[in-house]
A and B are shown apart, each in its own frame.
Chain A
Amino acid sequence: MVKLLIKNGRVIDPANNLDGINDILVEGTKIVRVGENIQAKADKVIDATDKIVMPGLIDMHVHLREPGREDKETIATGTRAALKGGVTTLLAMPNTALAIDTPQNIELLKGIIKKTSHANVLIAAAITRARLGKELTDIPRFKQQAVVAITDDGASVDSEKLLSQALEKAKANKILVICHCEDKTLSGEGVVNLGFISTRLGLRGISKESEYKRVERDIGLAQETGAPIHIAHVSCKESVEIIARAKKKGIKVTAETAPHYFALSEEAVLDYDTNMKMNPPLRSKEDLEAIRQGLKSGAIDVIASDHAPHTQNEKDIEFDRAEFGVIGLETELAASITELVHTGLLSWKELVKKMTVNPAGALGIDRGTLSPGEVADITIISPEKEWLVKKEEILSKSKNTPFLGNKLKGLVEYTILAGKVVYKR
C-alpha cells in the first residue's frame, strides 16, 4: 500500500479535539496514525510546516447542474472546482434540469458521477415530484439508493401536510430533510432585500418575513414529527433567533449559511452587479452581524457554499432578468477564514468544525475527521497567504462569484481524497 506522510503541520481535527503540530500517516485510502514526529518510511512526504492540515471539507449545498445544464457546470468541472477549494465531499442538489426525483434519475446521476467525478459526490433527491410540491417522491426507495438527504431546494414545500408526511418518512428511513425556506406569496417577484436599498434601486424587494416565517413553520413541523430538519442558506437575523430558540427547546434542527451572507450586505447591490443577486438576497448589515453571531453562538452549525453556477449570458443582462445564484466552491474556505477567523470571531477549530464534522453529522456520513481508520480526505492550507479572486483562475465553468476582485486570506495547497493527492497548487 502506498504510504503518505504529512509532516509538521498544524493539525486541526475538531472531532478529536485536536489542534497542534502533528504528523499524519496515510496508508492506501485510510489514515493510520496522527501524532508527533512520526518516523515512518513513506512513498511520499508532504512538508506541512507553517500550514494547517484539516479534514477534507464537506459542502452540503452544491448545484452541479448535471444532468441538463452542462453549459453552466458539469460534475467534472464542479468537482475540480471543489478540490481547488479544499472540498472533498459535496452534496449535489436535485434541482437539475432533469430533477433528481425518481429512482431512474438517481441511477442516471450515479452513472455520471462514477464516470466523471473527481470528488466524493453525495446525492440529495427531491421531496416532491418535479419539485412542484404536489406529490411525494419514493423516499424509502431513495434510502436504498444511498441518497442521504431530500430537498426541493430552490423551492419550499408549501403544503404543510406534504412536508409533514415527508418528515415522517424521512425519519423512518434516517434521511435528512433540507428546507429551502421561502414563502413565495411574500417574496413574489422580488430580486433584492426589501428595504431602503430596494427603494433606492427601484427594484422589487424580498422581505425577511418570506424567509423566517417559513423557517418557523418548518421547525414547527420538525417538532411535531420528531424528524431532524436542516435549514438551508440562512440569511437574516430573525431566522437565526428562531433556530436558536428551537435548539434550546431540544428540537432536532441544524442550520447552514453561506459565506456571502456573512461577508457581504445588500449595499453590494447598489451598482446593479448581478453577481450580487442570489436567493435569499444579501440582507442588511444588521442581518450580516446576526449571521456572524449565530455562527459564534452555534445557532448556525454549517457553512456551505450554495454554489450556483450560471453562464455569462444569464448574468450579463438586466438585473431583473438575471438568474439568482453565485458560485462559491473555490472561495468558501478563504472567505470564511478572512471574515471569521482573521477577524477573531471564530477559532480555527470552530471554523473547521462548521465545514467538516458538523455537515457530516447532519448528513450522517462517516467523514470529516482525521481519526485513524477513517478515509484519508485531507485539506492542507497556507492560512496567511493572501490571493486575489480572478476570473481567469476560476475552475468552475461559470464565473459568477460575488468575490471577484477581492483579496482573500487562506490558500489551499493540497487536497487529498482517499489518500491520493488530487489537487496541488
Chain B
Amino acid sequence: MPVIWHRKDLLGLENLSREEIEFILETADSFKEVSARDIKKVPALRGKTVVNLFYEPSTRTRVSFEVAAKRLSADVINIATETSSVKKGETLIDTGKNIQALNADIIVMRHNYSGAAAMLARNLEISVVNAGDGWHEHPTQALLDIFTLKEKLGRIEGLSVSIVGDIAHSRVARSNIWGLTKLGAKVTVCAPPVLIPVAVEQMGVKITHNLDEALKHADAVNVLRMQFERDGSEAFPKQLEYFKNFGITRERLEKLKKNILVMHPGPLNRGIEISSEVADGGHSVILEQVTNGIAVRMAVLFLVAQGRERKKDGEATH
C-alpha cells in the first residue's frame, strides 16, 4: 500500500483525511498478528525512546501504549505528574523541551486541558501522540473503536453507530464522531439534554434523548463512562436515575430483536451506564477493544516515528 502518512504527530481525528485514517487502520491490521506470536516483538522502533507523559491518572491507556511501544522494541519511560502541581511546577513546554533534550523520540501525552497536545506538538520537533486532552480528542481510542467495528462488521461505510453518555465532556465521543463520519458511518449521540454539547449536530450527527430510539437502528453502540463526581453533587440517586433512562441492559437489547455490538472505552461503571450482564454478554466486544488497542497504538507510534523521519529528510509534508 502506498505510504500516505507524513505527520510527526497524532493530535486528533478532526484534521485527518479519510485516507489517513484508513492508512492507520491498515497499518494496525498488519501489526495485529505480532501480539499473537510466541515472541511478541518486532524491531520496528528499536533504539527509539517513547515517553508516556501523563498529567491525569490513567492505567489502561498508559499500559496499552507501553505494551505497544515495547512490542515495537522501543524503550519506554513513564512520567506521571499530578495535575495539582502543574500550576507551581514547570510549564508544559519546558517539560516537553526537557524530554526532547533527552533525545526521546515520541511523547505520548494525557492531559486534563483541551489543546495541550497541540500546543506541545507546535513547540517540539519530536513526535507527540495525544492520549487524551481535556474534553477535546482521544484519537487512539476512537481508532481502536473503529478498528474493532470494522473487524467485527466488515465495513464502516453505511454503518449506524450510536454513542451514549456524557457527550459534552467526552474526548472519546468527539474523536469517534470525527472518525466515523469521515469513514461514512451514520452517527447518533444519545444523552440527557445537559450532556449534549452546543451545536454538535454541525459535526454531522443526529441527536436523541431516548435510548431506545438510539438503539433501534444502530449496528453498534459505544457506551461512555459516566462520571458523576464531576459536579460534586450527591452521586447515588443520579446514578440510579441515569441507569434507568440510559443504562444499557439485557432487556433493552432483547427488545431490539437484532444484533448490536456493544463497545465501551473503559473503565466500566457496572450498574451505571451498562449492566454486568451486557458487559460480560454476547453483544460485548469490550475486551477485544483492549486487544485491538495494542495494534492500533503500535501503528500510530510506528507511523509518527516514520513521519518525523520523513520530515527530517525534507520530504514534502502536509
Contact = CB atoms under 8 A, between A and B. Distances in A.
B113 A318 contact: yes
Most-contacted residue by chain B among A200, A202, A271, A317 (CB, 10 A): A202
A205 interface: yes
Given A320-B114, A321-B113, A202 B199 contact: no
B59 interface: no
A203 interface: yes
Interface string B98-135: 00000000000001011110110010000000000111
A198 interface: yes
A201 B11 CA distance: 12
Given A196-B198, A196-B202, A319 B115 contact: yes
B115 A317 contact: no
A317 B137 contact: no
B198 A272 contact: no
Contacts of A321: 87, 113
A199 interface: yes
B203 interface: yes
Nearest to A191: B114
B200 interface: yes
A17 interface: no
A187 B151 CA distance: 44
B136 interface: yes
B118 A271 contact: yes
A424 to B, nearest CB: 37
A202 B198 contact: no
A316 interface: yes
Contact of B199 (A199, A313, A319, A320): A199
A28 interface: no
B267 to A, nearest CB: 21
Given A201-B136, A202-B171, A271-B118, A319 B113 contact: yes
Nearest to A207: B198
A191 B195 CA distance: 19
Contacts of B264: none
Contacts of B207: none
B203 A200 contact: yes
Nearest to B116: A318
B118 A317 contact: no
Contacts of A202: 114-115, 133-137, 171, 174
Interface in B168-206: 171, 174, 197-200, 202-203
B92 interface: yes
B198 A198 contact: yes
A200 B91 CA distance: 25
Given A316-B93, A317-B91, A199 B113 contact: no
A300 interface: no
Nearest to B136: A202
A103 interface: no
Contacts of B137: 202
Contacts of A200: 14, 174, 203
Given A272-B115, A316-B91, A195 B198 contact: yes
A166 interface: no
B8 to A, nearest CB: 16
A424 B174 CA distance: 52
A208 to B, nearest CB: 12
B114 A203 contact: yes
B268 to A, nearest CB: 23
A125 interface: no
Given A194-B198, A195-B198, A196-B198, A318 B135 contact: no
Contacts of B203: 196, 199-200
A121 to B, nearest CB: 34
B31 to A, nearest CB: 29
A200 B197 CA distance: 9
Interface string A64-102: 000000000000000000000000000000000000000
Interface string A283-320: 00000000000000000000000000000010011111
Contacts of B197: 198-199
A43 to B, nearest CB: 53
26 contacts: A195-B198, A195-B199, A196-B202, A198-B197, A199-B198, A199-B199, A200-B174, A200-B203, A202-B133, A202-B134, A202-B136, A202-B174, A203-B114, A203-B134, A203-B135, A205-B198, A272-B114, A272-B115, A313-B91, A316-B91, A318-B113, A318-B119, A319-B114, A319-B119, A320-B114, A320-B115
Interface of B: 14, 87, 91-93, 111, 113-116, 118-119, 122, 133-137, 171, 174, 197-200, 202-203
Interface of A: 194-196, 198-203, 205, 271-272, 313, 316-321
Given A199-B198, A318-B119, 6 more contacts: A199-B199, A200-B174, A201-B136, A202-B115, A203-B134, A272-B115
